A and B are shown apart, each in its own frame.
Chain A
Amino acid sequence: MVPRLPVRDLTSRMLPTSSRRQLSTSSKTNAATTETRSTQHPPPGKRKPLTKEQRDFLSSALRVNQAGELAATLIYTAQTPVVVARHPHLRPLMKHMYDQEAGHLDTFNALIAKHRVRPTALYPLWQVLATGLGWGTALMGREAAMACTEAVETEIGDHYNEQIRTLLEMVAEWEADGYEVGPELRDLISTLRRIRDEELEHLDHAVEHDAQKAEPHWLLTGVIRAGCRGAIWVSEKV
């Protein structure tokens, strides 16, 4: 029998039901073949090809991560001169955070080029918005600048965690089926973990440096976090 492609299944699969997407390695359409596969294990060392959804997920993940790190470097670039002029003792901290973000950006630039993923089309828009955000919060004072970092890094940390969770699920499913997982994906997961930890470290630095004394803290972080979520949503698509 010819398995006809049920379009409805595909679309319902592509529309995220929760905030986190479930990426199954086997779609419902080839359920029959997976059943036979699970009874007889594939030969050792065999790797499963990525499905369309998995490739889409990886493309949009790399694209949005590159856009995010680009924005982060620009936020720190714009904040540094203003913040440092008023509080010279913050110079090493700002430089440390900037250097780490620049490293992340290089990592994702290399990954995007290697895996032939299209960069985000709104690149210039993110450049302008990120510079504006960094400069604006820096003008509002040290606390506001740190609150900006706090808000951004909170969202980014959550975002990386979601990606890592999705990837781990994918890998776990492969391993359960007896497939091998290539170093490419293992490296990606460990890179994402390292970067997430560094972002959360920035969050701690920001809170240590009076981020929560910004006035009004709830409004500032609320607006910036909503903006981040919006930007992430758009960058995943465009």
Chain B
Amino acid sequence: MSPSRRFGTSLASQLLRTPLPPSTTRTAFGRHCYHSYDHPPAVAVSYGSTEQAILSAAYTHVPQHGFSQRALALGAEDAGYPTISASVLPDGAFSLIRYHLVTRREELSGKTKTIFGEKNLGAQQLSTAARVEQLTWERLLGNKDVVHRWQEALAIMAQPSYMPSSLKELSLLADDIWFLAGDTSVDPSWYTKRASLATIYASSELFMTTDKSEGFFETRDFLRRRLEEVKQMGSVVGSVSQWLGFTANAGINVLRNKGLRI
């Protein structure tokens, strides 16, 4: 047996031994579940060391080779593993896409301090809506280096077997952005806020793939307009429900004044 082959088999067994949980278990663990500050989970939501090495090396080849097996193979080589070892990754090219989604999302919490840090020291505090816009924009900029490859990635993400995993990542992103923006709503708007932000993010991301403007300023405007629309929509719904509540209350009080014991 040649040394490289022996190395290959030991690598394969090593990869197989390090638990590579299917995508669902990894993300489901952190999904809208009690987030402890005193007793944080032992393993952060990230990758095993071998997987991490291959994926991060492969990621640098994405701008040139796209989210593909080729990029994975080159990454495995760079990381010092045989080219074939990339095929041990469970979802092939999609694992590279998910790596992009997860790492870019996890970067946001670190960036929050640099984005809002200086501004918070000043007297003016940004509103939650402004923070949401800022964070969403920051996340969109995370796609900057791979934006010419992103349509291919979207096509892979839309495949039925990867769809649930992609949507889960999208919902985690929306949840993270609202949390980092300091939103504390715990009524049904919790759901509508996340759903509308996820929709806006996905459409802005698609818009960005065809945006040729300087610094993607057209995408930024697109994002701003969509968020503004949702805000107006929300205030209309709020006003209507407030009016309905007031009218119903007033009606009951009139009846009570008439002597009805209700």
CA distance A81 to B257 in the complex (A): 12
Count, A-B residue pairs, CB within 8 A: 79
Residue A109 CB within 8 A of the other chain: yes
> Are B38 and A66 touching (Cβ within 8 A)?
no
Min Cβ gap B89→A in Å is 18
> Are A119 and B187 touching (Cβ within 8 A)?
yes
Instruction: Please indicate which of the listed interface residues B179, B186, B187, B191 has the most CB atoms of chain A within 10 Å of its own CB.
Output: B186
Q: List 27 A-B contacts (CB under 8 A).
A: A2-B19, A47-B38, A49-B36, A49-B39, A49-B41, A50-B34, A50-B39, A50-B41, A52-B29, A54-B34, A55-B33, A56-B34, A59-B32, A59-B33, A59-B34, A81-B256, A82-B262, A85-B261, A109-B184, A116-B32, A116-B179, A117-B34, A182-B38, A184-B36, A184-B38, A184-B39, A185-B39
> Are B186 and A112 touching (Cβ within 8 A)?
yes
Q: Which residues of A lie under 8 Å from residue B212 when comparing CB positions? A: none
Q: Which residues of A lie under 8 Å from residue B190 when comparing CB positions? A: 118-119
Q: Which residue of A lies closest to B28 (CB)?
A: A52
CA distance A62 to B32 in the complex (A): 12
> Are B262 and A116 touching (Cβ within 8 A)?
no
Q: Which of A115, A119, A124, A183 contacts B34 (CB 8 A)?
A: A115
Q: Beyond the given A81-B256, A82-B261, A184-B38, could you list 15 further A-B residue pairs with CB under 8 A, ordered by the A residue number? A: A47-B39, A49-B36, A49-B42, A50-B36, A54-B34, A62-B34, A85-B261, A112-B186, A113-B186, A115-B36, A116-B32, A116-B35, A117-B35, A139-B262, A182-B39
> Are A56 and B33 touching (Cβ within 8 A)?
yes
Min Cβ gap B207→A in Å is 29
CA distance A118 to B36 in the complex (A): 14
| Interchain residue pairs A-B with the least CB separation, the first 10 | A182-B38, A113-B184, A58-B34, A118-B32, A184-B38, A116-B35, A49-B42, A59-B34, A55-B34, A112-B186
Q: Which residues of B lie under 8 Å from residue A86 when comparing CB positions? A: 261
Q: Given A113-B184, A123-B188, decide whether A55 and B36 contact each other with a Cβ distance below 8 A.
A: yes
> Are A117 and B261 touching (Cβ within 8 A)?
no
Query: Which chain B residues numbered 169 to 222 have a C-beta less than 8 Å away from chain A?
Result: 175, 179, 184-188, 190-191
Q: Which residues of B lie under 8 Å from residue A37 when comparing CB positions? A: none
Q: Which residues of B lie under 8 Å from residue A81 when comparing CB positions? A: 256
CA distance A221 to B184 in the complex (A): 36
Interface string of A114-143 (1 = CB under 8 A from B): 011111010110000000000100010000
Instruction: Please indicate which of the listed interface residues B34, B41, B191, B261 has the most CB atoms of chain A within 10 Å of its own CB.
Output: B34
Interface string of B97-118 (1 = CB under 8 A from A): 0000000000000000000000
> Are B32 and A117 touching (Cβ within 8 A)?
yes
CA distance A116 to B185 in the complex (A): 10
Residue B17 CB within 8 A of the other chain: yes
Min Cβ gap B248→A in Å is 11
Give the size of the chain B interface in residues (CB under 8 angstroms): 26
Q: Which residues of B lie under 8 Å from residue A115 when comparing CB positions? A: 34-36
Q: Which residue of B lies closest to A112 (CB)?
A: B186
Residue B3 CB within 8 A of the other chain: no
> Are A183 and B33 touching (Cβ within 8 A)?
no
CA distance A72 to B185 in the complex (A): 19
CA distance A81 to B260 in the complex (A): 12
CA distance A139 to B252 in the complex (A): 14
Min Cβ gap B28→A in Å is 9
> Are A185 and B38 touching (Cβ within 8 A)?
yes
Q: Which residues of A lie under 8 Å from residue B185 when comparing CB positions? A: 113
Residue A48 CB within 8 A of the other chain: yes
CA distance A118 to B174 in the complex (A): 13
Q: Which residues of B lie under 8 Å from residue A58 when comparing CB positions? A: 34, 36
Query: Which chain B residues numbered 13 to 33 have a C-beta less than 8 Å away from chain A?
Result: 17, 19, 29, 32-33
Q: Which residues of A lie under 8 Å from residue B184 when comparing CB positions? A: 109-110, 113
Min Cβ gap A205→B in Å is 23
Min Cβ gap A67→B in Å is 10
> Are A66 and B186 touching (Cβ within 8 A)?
yes
CA distance A184 to B34 in the complex (A): 12
> Are A109 and B32 touching (Cβ within 8 A)?
no
Min Cβ gap B131→A in Å is 15
Min Cβ gap A70→B in Å is 9
Q: Which residues of B lie under 8 Å from residue A110 when comparing CB positions? A: 184
CA distance A209 to B52 in the complex (A): 66
Residue B122 CB within 8 A of the other chain: no
